[in-house]
Structure 1
Amino acid sequence: MLNVQHLTFSYKKTPILKDISFKVNAGENLAIIGESGSGKSTLLNLIYGEFDLNQGQIFWKDTEILGPKYNLVIGYEFMKYVHQEFDLMPYITVAENIAKHLSRFYPEEREERTNELLNVVELEAFANVKVKTLSGGQKQRVALARALAKQPEIILLDEPFSHIDNFKKQSLRRNVFKYLKDKNITCIVATHDKEDVLGFADTMIVLENQQILEQGKPEALYNNPKTPLIASFFGEFNMIDDKIVYANRLEVVEKSNLKATVITSYFKAYHYLIEADLNGEKVFFEHHTSIEKGQEVYLSISE
């Protein structure tokens, strides 16, 4: 179990995180979300032991995670961290990067493990290609595989799919998160992308103003967003009578007390997102077809 207790951290007297506490059980997936500058990456750095805490403690099982004041070498054998900077060796191949820290005394196991991870990150065809020739997204996939090579007990991922194109992103997410679950590896993901969270995270934490604004299961936070910040993570929303209403919970009806005038329609593949004017305020709702600009519609909030 990862146990973060009353963590507080400042950088050059600037408060970054205040009184952060949470627990993550072995094999669970925790997503950390928040706006840019909210402290997501800093929190991962602290969990890894890259900085010294001002207050609080961090434990993995019975081991206290300590910073550079106490450790000459940053990091722990049981934990891996995939930064946004990949720190790969450019002049050797993809397979050699992945196998770099695996024992040479067991060549068959080493090769089998490397091939397994090449499959997880969908880079089998690039096994013998030098890393320097790869795209940013491909390098990110190599970094993921290399971090998993020695099968850590816990892995920290900072925007792990941000450089990967949409053609590969969905299948790669499924592969990586399934692998982590199958191997009972605890995963902490810092992300701004809801697709990294929905369907994968057991729990999510929302950071705002250096503190935990909310934490819980993604379904609970989606169904009962306490603030516009939380709602905005999941998609388009509106404030109607001081209540948060998602765009997909507004529907066109024959008559209601919500009368809006259509401004424009946005094609979203499986639906149209309609922007309209409701009593001088912009409102967004989903519809199965586009609606002519200027057309008046009545809206109802579905449960």
Structure 2
Amino acid sequence: MLRIENVSFAYDDVPVLENIDLRIQRREHVAIIGESGCGKSTLLKIIYGLMDLEQGEVFWEDEPILGPAYNLVPGAPFIKYLSQDFDLMPFITVRENISQYLSVFYPKELEERTAELLEMIELADFADKKVKTLSGGQQQRVALARVLAQKPEILLLDEPFGHIDNFLKNSLRRNIFSYLKENGITCIIATHDYQDVLPFTDRIFVLRDRKIMVKGKPMELYKNPKELYIASLFGEANSISIDVLKSYANTKRRIIVYAHEFRVSETSGIPVTVKKSYPMGSHFLTEGVMEDGETIFFNAPTELSADKELFLNVSLETINQRIQTNRIT
């Protein structure tokens, strides 16, 4: 088990993390999500052992993870950290970068492992290219294979797909997270992309204002977000008063409704005037204004013209589900 106990951290007296307590099981995959600058990368560096702590401790099983004040070479040997800086050797080939940490005393195993990792990152055709000739996204994939070649007990991923083309991301995610599960590698990913999270992680920790705001299973947090901030990490969302959604309701408590949960009607519902439509491929994200002047975002199957007046509805099932969730105020 990885234990992060009462960890606080500051840069030049500016607090970044406060009283962080986490327990992560062996083989578990977890995500740390939150807006840019909330401390995700800092927390990964602390777990790896790149930072000295004035408050708190980090343990893997019973072994403390200590910072550079205690280790000549910072970083725990049983953890590998893939940061947003790739740390590759640019003047040697992709194959050589990946196989660098494999034993030359077992040439057949070295060749097989290197080939396996090249296939996983979908760069077999680039095996003999020098790394300096690759794109940023290709270099990021090489860096990922390079850390996996070392068979870590824990893998820390900091925005691991940030430089990779969209058409490759989905297959790479499936390849990599399947590989980690099959090999029993504990994984902690810091990301702002919910597509890294929902299909592939066991739990989520949401960071905000230097603290863990909430934690839970991905689909539970997605379906029952306790605050608008949490919902916004998964997609476009709105905070709506219940008496606006249902005119007979005698309460102004607010619940969260995702843009895709609205249904457009020509006859009844919440009166909305369209301001702008944004094409999203399978639908149009539409910005509208309610009668009280509040902005609302909803999905529509077709483009809607500006100033068009229409109505929006939300299913009673969705409303009841959100009412049972802790509401925002």
Q: TM-score w.r.t. structure 2 length?
A: 0.89
Alignment of 1:276 onto 2:276:
no
Q: TM-score w.r.t. structure 1 length?
A: 0.97
Alignment of 1:259 onto 2:271:
yes
Alpha-carbon distance, 1:273 to partner:
1.6
Task: Name whichever of 132-141 and 246-255 sits farther off.
Answer: 246-255
Alpha-carbon distance, 1:55 to partner:
1.3
Equivalent residue runs for 1:68-147 within 5 Å: 68-147=68-147
- Report what 1:295 is aligned to: 308
**Secondary structure of 1:88 counterpart:** coil
Contact persistence 1:10–1:54 (CA under 8 A): no
Question: Match for 1:126: what amino acid?
Answer: F
Alpha-carbon distance, 1:266 to partner:
2.0
- Report what 1:286 is aligned to: 299
Find runs of 4+ consecutive structure 1 residues off by over 4 angstroms: none
Alignment of 1:9 onto 2:9:
yes
- Report what 2:37 is aligned to: 37
Structure 1, unaligned stretches of length 5 or more? none
Amino-acid identity (%): 55
Alpha-carbon distance, 1:257 to partner:
4.5
- Report what 2:205 is aligned to: 205
Equivalent residue runs for 1:219-234 within 5 Å: 219-234=219-234
In the aligned structure 1, how far is the partner of 2:307 from the partner of 2:77? 62
Question: Match for 2:169: what amino acid?
Answer: K
CA RMSD of aligned residues (A): 1.2
In the aligned structure 1, how far is the partner of 2:77 from the partner of 2:213? 32
Contact persistence 1:252–1:299 (CA under 8 A): yes
Contact persistence 1:67–1:74 (CA under 8 A): yes
In the aligned structure 2, how far is the partner of 1:264 from the partner of 1:42? 38
- Report what 2:260 is aligned to: 248
- Report what 2:174 is aligned to: 174
Alpha-carbon distance, 1:287 to partner:
1.9
**Secondary structure of 1:294 counterpart:** coil
Q: 1:256-287 CA deviation, whole Å, 9 max, x = no partner?
A: 44111122222221122222111212211112
- Aligned residue pairs total 303
Structure 2, unaligned stretches of length 5 or more? 242-253, 319-329
